[in-house]
Amino acid sequence: MLRSLLYVLPLAVAIGCSSTGDKSMSETARDRVETATDGTPLPKDPDNRYGTLDNGFDYVVRQHDNPPERVTLYLHINTGALNETPSQNGLAHFLEHMAFNGSENFAPGELIPRLSSLGMQFGADSNAHTTRQETVYKLTMPDTEPETIELALTILGDYAGRLLLLDDEIDKERQIILNEKGSRKGWQQRISDAFVEDVFAGSRIAEHTVIGTDEVLKTAPRSEFVDYYDTWYRPELMTLVVVGDVDALDLEKRIQAHFSSSQFTARAEAREPRGTGIRPTDTARAFVLSDPEMPIARVEAFRLQPGREPIDTLEECRFNEIENLGTEILSRRIAERVQRGEADYMGGRAGVGNLFKEAIMASADVQGVAENWKSMLDQLVEEIDRAVEHGFDENELELAKRETIAAAEAAVERASTRNARAVVESIVGAVGGDYPILSAQQNLDLLRSILPTVTVEEIDQVFRDNYSTGAYTYVLSLPEKGNTLPTSAEILAIAKSAWDRETKVQHKEKIEGPILESLPQPGSITSQSHDDAFDVTTLTLSNGAIVHHRYMDYKKDEATILVTIPGGIIEEDAAHRGLSQAAALVNATTRLTSTQIRDLMADKKVGVGGGFSMDAYNMSVSGSPRDLVTGLQLLHAFLNDGIIEKSTFDNWKEAAKQQIEAAKTNPGARAMEALARSFLGGDIRQLPLTAEEIDAITIEKAQEWGRRIFGRPIEIAVVGDLSLEATIPLVTRYFGSLPKVEHSFDMLDALRKIDRVAGPYVERITFDSVTPQSFVLAGYQGCNAKERVDRRQLNFVTLILQERMTKILREEEKLVYSIGCFQQPAEAIPGTGMILAQSPCEPENADRLAQRIIEMMQEFAENGPSADEVETAKKQISNILDTQMKEPAFWLRQLADLDYRGDELSELEGLVEYYQSISPEMVKAVAQKYIRPEAEIRIVASPKSEATADVASDGMDDMAKVAKVKADMKAVTNAVQIYKLDNGSLPKSFDELVQPADQDKQYLESVPRDPWTHEPYMFELTELGIVLTSYGRDMQEGGVGLDADVVTGIGD
């Protein structure tokens, strides 16, 4: 559990990062660091059992009963895309897919149904990933019965050495891989690719990606798969990590039986691993990257140095901590400059990372508004230079040490009840990163012995060794739109000017004292009740606040207090848009700045947060029970004396506008906006914010909006390792002292409605984008949260449809890489519940995908599920509930707004048994209740192009085409009405709506097309108004069954 600073470049690759002792280049740096340690090897976590079989196969086994009766197994293989030959580019990842498509013990198509029959879910419980350096297979089994463990080991054994790699199965999987590649398209991927290609030109990673080239993915023969598989899937490159409620000794014997040389040997000669070819640079360089859809600017400065050996000794561990402390202090300085309002960037950080184990990268970066890139670069260099020139001070070092120790102490307190999957992932991370597997206690002991001996002079020296150089690489990433791109020479000149300028010493003010000037006077308890079935105590305080408490030590030394107050977006109108979001920005008080608050909380193992939803404000205090009182004091200060700092407010506005800009070319965001305009009736509270609305918000308005919550009902849930006796003095003092409740929980009920036309709700929108990706969202209106019987039965509908869609739409028809099917019951506003499936896809598949989703749902409603499907869903739900109901988070969700929602704990009684009583007939009946033509939702968002226009409406049935015409008519009606308000007359053609004389305003994004002919509707201005014709028929005459007044009534 060594601290390591993970610094991820914008190149979408896994960068294993542990700042380690240098065996190849920095001996002089380490020699300058006074140390009382030596070459003593670091210890290993004693709670694990370690072993190496006769063939070199490694394993780590740990008995750990959180969650009980579960076991998680990860097979780590020390190979990834870097070991591919040019003709194999992409096959390491492709091979990971093939593990699910046929092996010695599982014929093609058998494995996933076999796991599903146990109640496992593909993706959640069985998965894998591949990077440039590693491949990891993952299983979380639903029980620890001997036969279940044997099944898991058999599966992993097949992955390791018994895959069939059949030609037919390889060919079937090709399009799925290409769909996966397509699902990643966007400006982030393009900038990432450009970064690697330009900055690391000449290296293997510049020409060799994890996902691979289209040519290899489409044409690579079986022999290439076999060559990579036999060469690199070898026992000495594998480590099996197993953590769960198991007998470790028994599991060791089972591992030996499955993976020793009698069962598993290498099938080909070993080869030398292929490196990246990344090399340090000795001169300054600058690169400019740009993309038309990038919404932000990013400035990076880094230095490449030769690689280091892994951390093995106490001396190297100490050096690692010294290095981390320096970059953490610089990261804090970068953040504090923003908080003071003295930065032209919006955020940033610094770090030292191990780049593919071949180079050390000392780096820092900032992000912000594109027009500020020059000053952003200047200020970034200034902060690095200030640290190089003047070093750090004692107060900064003390804060960094306190934060480090506090985090390590919290890890120790929670180690015994940490989730098994998290334990496995930390061990696998250590295996992949080549650093020791320490226990939380060992890590804390090391830090307690090391940190007191570390001096600020040592921090300064190591930082200078890493960051004092002229050989920086500067990377500027900018939006193309509206920007003249600078040359590399201009960037280098700005950086040099900043380096040449003298910097001033920065001193850190030491903050001491309480968060509150005086403690509030506690209220009292006016009533108390206890639910014996669920061990929940409910208190009513003298000011009317309601508290629900449930003691749980499932997570040791963790407790959360979650506050719910009615309010939020549901109250907004056109004059108050965005104020709920802005009101949640409170981060300081009239006494303390956000920086001072952060300093005061440095060694507190507690977090304080807040946010908003459609109809509630939520605030939380979570962490160690010993520090909850400090967190509650901070929350109390925010509630009574909180302010929004101008720098925070300004940054939020800029970030919000960048998100708006990014959403314009994001198909998922455009689909959600279309959903809001159609199914959600265009209700202003459901629509995304606009830049104009953001600009209209002021700090004063936001703070006033937030203050309105005083006197409103307040509900508090306290769940975790905190007794009722310890809870009462906390809640009476910090919540009982708040103003008396003057409203009831039904105060917002008049706002819980939307105005919309009858369905179906069909929207096909196009937008300007260079990314060839569409997004499809299709389904039906669903239930309300209060309709619990329907809600629970609909869980079966979506679980079964998810399995079917994965099999049919992904595996068979290859329309998507992955698809999600889910229900979203309406809670804040009745009538807005949805049963949906959604996925990105290639534009040419979009309409077909939408149609197939609707057809599959209709078929489900008509014929219902099979008995086997219902039994599988029962097992899946049982597994989910068995795990979730043990977690504090589950009970927080139940208790946080129990009274606000008018719920009763008794509704949870018999929950597990109820799910097991559901029959196929019940599932079919609830599907038929909601899957109705008039409740259909079909949203397709695609980039504008001739290709997408040509395929518009392909695959739609007549009902869907009628619905599309109706939706188009509504869109035209709205556009014409606005046009008339602006211009005083009606438009004479679609051109005036799509390309008006005033280029700053567009009434329609594109000319709507007839779904039968794929041609634009006929547009005619008459004395009666505007008449549109579809399929050769006049809309006013009800040509396709539409009401005659769909478009008319807009005449002069």
Residue 1033 banded pLDDT, cuts 50, 70, 90: very low
Higher local confidence (pLDDT), 1001 or 969: 969
pLDDT tens digits along 552-565: 999 999 999 999 99
Q: What is the pLDDT of residue 39?
A: 81
Model confidence, pTM: 0.87
Average pLDDT estimate for 147-170: 98
Whether pLDDT at 954 is above 50: no
Q: What is the pLDDT of residue 298?
A: 98
Residue 1052 banded pLDDT, cuts 50, 70, 90: very low
Residue 1030 banded pLDDT, cuts 50, 70, 90: low
Residue 813 CB partners (closer than 8 Å, separation 6+): 852
Whether pLDDT at 1019 is above 80: no
Whether pLDDT at 79 is above 70: yes
Q: What is the pLDDT of residue 978?
A: 73
What letter would DSSP give residue 117?
T
Q: What is the pLDDT of residue 1024?
A: 56
* DSSP-H helix ranges across 281-372: 314-339
Separation of alpha carbons 858 and 932, rounded Å = 8
C-alpha distance from residue 249 to each of 51, 150, 243, 255, 949 (Å): 11, 15, 12, 10, 63
| Cβ proximity of 584 and 616 under 8 Å | no
Higher local confidence (pLDDT), 24 or 375: 375
Q: What is the pLDDT of residue 1047?
A: 33
Whether pLDDT at 160 is above 70: yes
pLDDT tens digits along 772-815: 999 999 999 999 999 999 999 999 999 999 999 999 999 999 99
Whether pLDDT at 1039 is above 70: no
| Cβ proximity of 801 and 856 under 8 Å | yes
CA-wise closest residue to 1039 among 1021, 1014, 1012:
1012
Question: Hey, what are 246's tokens?
Answer: 């198991």
pLDDT tens digits along 674-725: 999 999 999 999 999 999 999 999 999 999 999 998 889 999 999 999 999 9
Separation of alpha carbons 359 and 350, rounded Å = 17
- Rounded to 5 degrees, what are φ and ψ at 305? -130, 165
* DSSP-H helix ranges across 360-452: 373-390, 394-414, 420-433, 440-450
pLDDT tens digits along 826-857: 999 999 999 999 999 999 999 999 999 999 99
Number of alpha carbons in the 13 Å side-chain half-sphere of residue 593: 14
pLDDT tens digits along 443-452: 999 999 999 9
Separation of alpha carbons 560 and 719, rounded Å = 6
Q: What is the pLDDT of residue 688?
A: 96
Whether pLDDT at 318 is above 50: yes
Whether pLDDT at 10 is above 70: no
Any idea what the Cα angle at residue 441 is, between residues 435 and 445, rounded to 5°? 85
- Rounded to 5 degrees, what are φ and ψ at 693? -65, -40
Average pLDDT estimate for 67-76: 97
- For the chain, give the mean pLDDT: 90
- Rounded to 5 degrees, what are φ and ψ at 729? -65, -30
Q: What is the pLDDT of residue 400?
A: 97
Separation of alpha carbons 515 and 170, rounded Å = 63
Separation of alpha carbons 751 and 314, rounded Å = 63
Higher local confidence (pLDDT), 969 or 346: 346
Q: Find the length of the chain.
A: 1052
Residue 1014 banded pLDDT, cuts 50, 70, 90: low
Residue 732 banded pLDDT, cuts 50, 70, 90: very high
Report CA dihedral (339, 341, 343, 346) to the nearest 10 degrees.
Answer: 60
Whether pLDDT at 224 is above 60: yes
Q: What is the pLDDT of residue 1000?
A: 56
Residues of the chain with CATH 3.30.830.10: 27-43+276-414+433-500, 56-259, 525-665+673-749, 761-950
Domain covering 525-665+673-749 assigned CATH 3.30.830.10 in the classification: yes
What is the DSSP code string of 744-794? -TTTTGGG-------S-EEEEEEE--SS--EEEEEEEE--BTT-HHHHHHH
| Cβ proximity of 323 and 403 under 8 Å | no
> For the chain, how long is the longest CA-to-CA vector?
94
Q: What is the pLDDT of residue 967?
A: 66
Burial 819-834, CB ≥16 within 10 A → b, else e: bebbbebbbbbbbbbb
Separation of alpha carbons 992 and 25, rounded Å = 68
CA-wise closest residue to 957 among 930, 931, 941, 938:
938
**Pairing mode of beta strands 347-355, 359-368:** antiparallel
pLDDT tens digits along 82-94: 999 999 999 999 9
> What superfamily in CATH does domain 56-259 come from?
Metalloenzyme, LuxS/M16 peptidase-like (3.30.830.10)
Burial 500-514, CB ≥16 within 10 A → b, else e: eeebeebebeebeee
Q: What is the pLDDT of residue 949?
A: 39
Residue 129 banded pLDDT, cuts 50, 70, 90: very high
| Cβ proximity of 59 and 252 under 8 Å | yes
Whether pLDDT at 226 is above 90: yes
DSSP H helix total and E strand total for the chain: 33, 28
Separation of alpha carbons 267 and 226, rounded Å = 10
Whether pLDDT at 37 is above 70: no
pLDDT tens digits along 414-424: 999 999 999 99
Whether pLDDT at 35 is above 50: no
Tally of CB atoms within 10 A around 608: 22
CATH number of 27-43+276-414+433-500: 3.30.830.10
Range from 294-303, 315-324, 864-873, 1002-1011 carrying the lowest mean pLDDT: 1002-1011
Range from 224-228, 473-477, 640-644, 1022-1026 carrying the lowest mean pLDDT: 1022-1026
* DSSP-H helix ranges across 585-698: 594-600, 628-641, 646-663, 667-677, 691-695
C-alpha distance from residue 892 to each of 620, 784, 895 (Å): 11, 21, 5
Question: DSSP 3-state helix, strand, coil percentages of the chain (rounded to 5)?
Answer: 45, 20, 40
pLDDT tens digits along 91-128: 999 999 999 999 999 999 999 999 999 999 998 999 99
Higher local confidence (pLDDT), 25 or 941: 941
Reported for 507-511, long-range contacts at CB under 8 A and 24+ positions apart, including other chains, are 507/393, 507/395, 508/393, 508/395, 508/396, 508/399, 509/395, 509/596, 510/395, 511/596, 511/599, 511/600
Whether pLDDT at 1036 is above 50: no
Q: What is the pLDDT of residue 1?
A: 43
Q: What is the pLDDT of residue 30?
A: 43
Residue 963 banded pLDDT, cuts 50, 70, 90: low
Q: What is the pLDDT of residue 1029?
A: 67
Number of alpha carbons in the 13 Å side-chain half-sphere of residue 646: 4
Higher local confidence (pLDDT), 33 or 1013: 1013
CATH architecture for the domain at 761-950: 2-Layer Sandwich (3.30)
